[in-house]
Structure 1
Amino acid sequence: MEAGNKHDGNSLSGHKGTILIIEDEDAISRVLAAYVRKAGYDSRICANGTEALEAFESARPALVLLDVMLPGMNGWEVLRRLRQRSSCPVIMLTSKGDVGDRIQGLNDGADDYMTKPFEPGEVVARIQAVLRRPAQSLVGSDQVTFGSVRIDFKSRSVYLNGASLTIMPRDLSLLLFLAEHPNRIFEREHLIERVWGIDYDGSDRAVDLAVKRLRKLLLHWPAEEGEIRTLRGMGYQLYANTRS
């Protein structure tokens, strides 16, 4: 059976959703598939980027495990193309341990980053941690509306003037967290801990860059309804007119 068509499952298949494993080393992909099945997920294995992009549409995965060093199209390009069509969570897998690579992956839209060799059990734990983000909404509803912006926490969807916005997963998690706590101020360090995770060791500039991208997407959101504000020396705030 070709790598792009491998579909490993058991009696728990589909119970928690599908994990798409994009990895060209057969031994690694099979071990990962076994562990995610044991945790109650279905698995789909692809050995290269081209097959993976095709499989992504049919598998509709809950999360993608993406190796950086793939034959032909590398993992960075696969990530870029995935982000053009979806905000599905992505965890990068690589043998590179350089901090710069980790920052590139996270800033390009990856949700987490694991360096080989890794324990498969830890990969499953990371999968579960990413899929738990963001924390349970504190606004008392599955949805909140700030004027022309509507945010659906349950489906992790954001709409501006009725049109759905395509937002990179990490940026989306940041926006959802801020929207769960409207008009509260958060320091960068707090946002990194709650959104990026306590083990993140990259630059806190990641928060600034994520806010910059969100502001660009929300450019046509009237300021009197709401906006992401920078409070010098204090942090960030999603100002929202809750009566709009």
Structure 2
Amino acid sequence: MTSASKPSTAETERAPGNYRILLLEDDEQLAELIVRFLSERHCAVTYAANGRDFMKAVHHKDYDLIIADVVLPDASGFKLLEQFRSQLSCPLIFLSALSSVDDQVTGLQLGANDYLVKPVDPHLLWAKIEAHLRTTNSKTPSTASIKFGPLSVDLVSRQALVRDQPLPLTTNEFDLLQIFAEQPARLLSREYLFRRVIGREFDGLDRVIDMRVSRLRKKLDAIADGVAIQSIRGRGYSLNTVHGAP
């Protein structure tokens, strides 16, 4: 397969109603077939050939569904799911040559929505994708906003309110607040936030997260009896209710 036809170049603009799918597969020939099949069904496919590419992909955008191999050249699909499941809001289907019952049970227990054994008929794969996305889409209204104490974060309009008072946030600030709101009262390390926001590993020197948290914190602090981002020296940040807010 020439570089011009590699699966990684097959991502297309998403039209209304189409699916954004992340494919993690180290077999380039199989990946090309899957990408072509899904693209013919008007899906926007992002391709990752290894664990490193997968980590970059999940940090840079959101997906409707993920298809992942288990055995990879630099990682285990099981380990990746274990590491990132709390950050993923979309269904995940394992597609693997590992066919034992133990492997399938492990994948499902780790949080996968399905486990298909290679080789799989592409039409069965497509039927599974549609079935899982129908289930996910039926739940969309209940997950379109996040509430924590007096804070309300609307993921559709990308607006945040504290006691019905709008928070004037930039795009970067809203993205950061969403990460905190998804895991309220939980300590989030600087390394974790850096991976989620910037999309690469923290080098120990870059202070961009500290600056963004500082700006967001000031805007939250300006609203009395609301929520605040609290810091634990050397460990990270946490979003909490303050001043007895309900």
1:142-179 CA distance string (max 9 Å, x none): 4xxxxxxxxx25x3x6645458456xxxxxxxxxxxxx
Residue equivalent to 1:17: 19
Alignment of 1:72-83 (within 5 A): 72-83=74-85
On the 8 A contact 1:4/1:52 being kept in 2, the answer is no
Kindly provide the amino acid, as one letter, of the partner of residue 90 in structure 2.
C
Residue equivalent to 1:205: none
Which protein is bigger by CA-based radius of gyration? 2
Separation in structure 1 between the aligned mates of residue 131 and residue 93 of structure 2, nearest angstrom? 11
The TM-score, its normalising length taken from structure 1, stands at 0.54
Alignment of 1:187-198 (within 5 A): none
Separation in structure 2 between the aligned mates of residue 2 and residue 85 of structure 1, nearest angstrom? 32
Instruction: Identify if the C-alpha distance between structure 1 residues 79 and 8 changes in structure 2 by more than 3 Å, giving closer, same or farther.
Output: same
The alpha-carbon deviation at position 134 of structure 1 amounts to 4.8
The alpha-carbon deviation at position 88 of structure 1 amounts to 2.1
Separation in structure 2 between the aligned mates of residue 23 and residue 61 of structure 1, nearest angstrom? 16
Separation in structure 2 between the aligned mates of residue 38 and residue 50 of structure 1, nearest angstrom? 27
Separation in structure 2 between the aligned mates of residue 61 and residue 130 of structure 1, nearest angstrom? 13
Which runs of 5 or more residues in structure 2 are unaligned? 152-179, 184-246
Residue equivalent to 2:103: 101
Instruction: Identify if the C-alpha distance between structure 1 residues 62 and 4 changes in structure 2 by more than 3 Å, giving closer, same or farther.
Output: farther
Alignment of 1:133-152 (within 5 A): 133-134=135-136, 136=138, 142=141, 152=142
Residue 9 of structure 2 aligns to a residue in which SS?
Answer: strand
- What is the number of equivalent residue pairs in this alignment? 150
The alpha-carbon deviation at position 4 of structure 1 amounts to 10
Separation in structure 2 between the aligned mates of residue 135 and residue 32 of structure 1, nearest angstrom? 23
Separation in structure 1 between the aligned mates of residue 9 and residue 132 of structure 2, nearest angstrom? 23
Separation in structure 2 between the aligned mates of residue 132 and residue 26 of structure 1, nearest angstrom? 29
Residue 26 of structure 2 aligns to a residue in which SS?
Answer: coil
Instruction: Identify if the C-alpha distance between structure 1 residues 85 and 134 changes in structure 2 by more than 3 Å, giving closer, same or farther.
Output: closer
Alignment of 1:112-131 (within 5 A): 112-131=114-133
Instruction: Identify if the C-alpha distance between structure 1 residues 121 and 86 changes in structure 2 by more than 3 Å, giving closer, same or farther.
Output: same
Instruction: Identify if the C-alpha distance between structure 1 residues 132 and 44 changes in structure 2 by more than 3 Å, giving closer, same or farther.
Output: same
Matched, 1:42 2:44: yes
On the 8 A contact 1:31/1:120 being kept in 2, the answer is no
Q: Among all aligned residue pairs of Structure 1 and Structure 2, give the percentage whose two residues are the same amino acid.
A: 25
- Per mean C-alpha deviation after superposition, the further-off stretch among 110-119 and 95-104 is 95-104
Residue 82 of structure 2 aligns to a residue in which SS?
Answer: helix
The alpha-carbon deviation at position 9 of structure 1 amounts to 4.0
The alpha-carbon deviation at position 59 of structure 1 amounts to 3.6
Kindly provide the amino acid, as one letter, of the partner of residue 90 in structure 1.
L
Separation in structure 2 between the aligned mates of residue 160 and residue 3 of structure 1, nearest angstrom? 46
Kindly provide the amino acid, as one letter, of the partner of residue 83 in structure 1.
R
1:82-141 CA distance string (max 9 Å, x none): 21422221100111221221111111111111000101121111111111115847xxx9
Over the aligned positions, Cα root-mean-square deviation in angstroms equals 2.8
The TM-score, its normalising length taken from structure 2, stands at 0.54
Whichever structure has more helix as a proportion of its residues is 2
Separation in structure 1 between the aligned mates of residue 147 and residue 6 of structure 2, nearest angstrom? 34
Instruction: Identify if the C-alpha distance between structure 1 residues 59 and 8 changes in structure 2 by more than 3 Å, giving closer, same or farther.
Output: farther
On the 8 A contact 2:97/2:117 being kept in 1, the answer is yes
Residue 14 of structure 1 aligns to a residue in which SS?
Answer: coil
Separation in structure 1 between the aligned mates of residue 182 and residue 93 of structure 2, nearest angstrom? 22
Kindly provide the amino acid, as one letter, of the partner of residue 109 in structure 1.
G
